Amino acid sequence: MNDFVKVVEVGARDGLQNEKSVIEFAQRLTFLNLLVDSGFQSIEVGSCVSPRWVPQMDKSAELYAALAKPEQISLSLLTPNLKGLEAAIAVGCKEVAVFTAASEAFTQKNINCSIQQSFDRFQPMFELAKQHEIKIRGYVSCVVDCPYEGAVAAQKVASVAKQLLDLGCYEISLGETIGTASPIRVRKMLEQCIEVVPIEQLAGHFHDTYGMAIANIQESLNLGLRVFDSSIAGLGGCPYAKGASGNVATEDVVYLLEQSGFNTDIDVAAMLKAGAYITSVLQRENQSNFVKAYGAK
C-alpha cells in the first residue's frame, strides 16, 4: 500500500474567500505562517481574481510575497486568467491553479464565461507558465452536482479533467462543490475519471454540506486516490454556490488518515494551533468533529 497521502490545505483560499468579513492582511499572514509550520506539503495562499468579485482575496499576491517560503513546501495561488497569472509571476510564485467546471451554468456564474471559453483563457497561461517554469494544478468544479443544473454526468467530468491534463496540469482536483454527493456517486464519477487521467494525478476536493465528505474520502481512498484538499476548521464554501458549506475539515481528514495507517507528515499540535488562531479571528466555531471531541477532553 502507498501509505503517504498528500493533504492540500486550502483554508486560506477556499475558506477565507467565503467569509462575510474581509480578514486583515496581517491576520491572513499569521494564519498562513502557522499553516507553513504545520507540515503541509501544499498550501493555497489565496487567489488572484477580481477584487470586485471576491474582495476577501484582495492582495493575495502581496501575501505570497510576504510569506516565509521553506523550499519543500508548495505555496500556490488560484489564477483565473492571464492577468492573475501575471500577478503571481510578479511575486515569484512557482505554482498556480486554474479552475473551470463540468457545468456550463456554474462556469458562467463563477468566472463569467463558458467551459470552452475558460479553456481559451487557459491556453496562453500555459504558454507563459512554461517560460517561467511554473507548475499548474487544475480544478474541475461540480463533479457530482451543480447548484444550477443538478446532477452532472460523470463522462462530462472525465472529459473536462482530461482536457486539463492535456493542457499540461500536473494534478487535477475534482471539486465536489456543494457537498451533496454520497460515496456511490463519487465512485461512479471517479471510475470515469480514472479511465482517462492517471489516478496519481487526481485529487479529491470535498465540501461537507451534507456531512458526507469523510465517507466520500474513504471511498476515494478505496479506489486508490492519495491527494485530498481540505480546510482547517472546515472553513470555506464558494461564493457562487449558494448554501454550500465549507470544505471538509483538515483535522478530520488527518484523523481518518492516521487512524487508517496513512502517513501525512502533518504536525497535529501545530495544525490545531493554526485552527485555534483562525477560528478566534473569525469568532466562529471550529467545524471539525475531531477538534470538538479533542477539545472537550
Which parts of this chain interact with ligand HMG (CB under 6 A)?
Answer: 14, 17, 47-50, 53-54, 80-81, 83-84, 99, 110-112, 139, 141, 175, 177, 205, 207, 238-240
Residue with CB nearest Mg ion? 14
The three-state secondary structure class of 119 is: helix
- Shortest distance, position 106 Cβ to ligand HMG, whole Å: 8
Q: Which is closer to ligand HMG, CB of 76 or CB of 110?
A: 110
184 burial level (CB within 10 Å; 0-12, 13-18, 19+): exposed
Q: Which is closer to ligand HMG, CB of 12 or CB of 111?
A: 111
- Shortest distance, position 37 Cβ to ligand HMG, whole Å: 24
Q: Residue 280: what are its φ and ψ, rounded to 5°? A: -75, -40
Closest CA to 255 of 282, 289, 207, 221: 289
**Binding-site partner at residue 139 among Mg ion, ligand HMG, none, CB < 5 to 8 Å by type:** ligand HMG
| Pairing state between β 150-151 and 145-146 | antiparallel
CA distances from 141 to 10, 65, 105, 138, 238 (A): 15, 28, 11, 10, 10
- Shortest distance, position 160 Cβ to ligand HMG, whole Å: 12
**Binding-site partner at residue 48 among ligand HMG, Mg ion, none, CB < 5 to 8 Å by type:** ligand HMG
Q: Which is closer to ligand HMG, CB of 110 or CB of 245?
A: 110
Contact residues for 240 (Cβ-Cβ < 8 A; gap 6+)? 106, 109, 110
Contact 141, 207 (CB under 8 A): no
Residue 238 among the catalytic residues: yes
Q: 249 forms bridges with which residues in the sheet?
A: 231
Question: CB 21: neighbour CB atoms within 10 A?
Answer: 10
- Shortest distance, position 113 Cβ to ligand HMG, whole Å: 7
**Binding-site partner at residue 46 among Mg ion, ligand HMG, none, CB < 5 to 8 Å by type:** none
Q: Binding to Mg ion by residue 58, rule CB under 5 A?
A: no
| Spatial separation of the C-alpha atoms in residues 186 and 55, rounded to whole Å | 32
- Shortest distance, position 269 Cβ to ligand HMG, whole Å: 28
**Binding-site partner at residue 31 among Mg ion, ligand HMG, none, CB < 5 to 8 Å by type:** none
End-to-end CA distance of the chain: 33
**Residue whose C-alpha cell is 474582495:** 55
Q: Which is closer to ligand HMG, CB of 19 or CB of 258?
A: 19
Q: Which residues in the 266-295 window bind Mg ion by CB under 5 A?
A: none
> Could you say which of 7, 9, 12, 14 contacts Mg ion (CB under 5 A)?
14
Q: Binding to Mg ion by residue 9, rule CB under 5 A?
A: no
**DSSP conformational letter for 15:** I
Candidates 93, 146, 193, 238; catalytic one: 238
Give the catalytic positions in this structure: 238
Residues at the site binding Mg ion, with contacts judged by CB under 5 A: 14
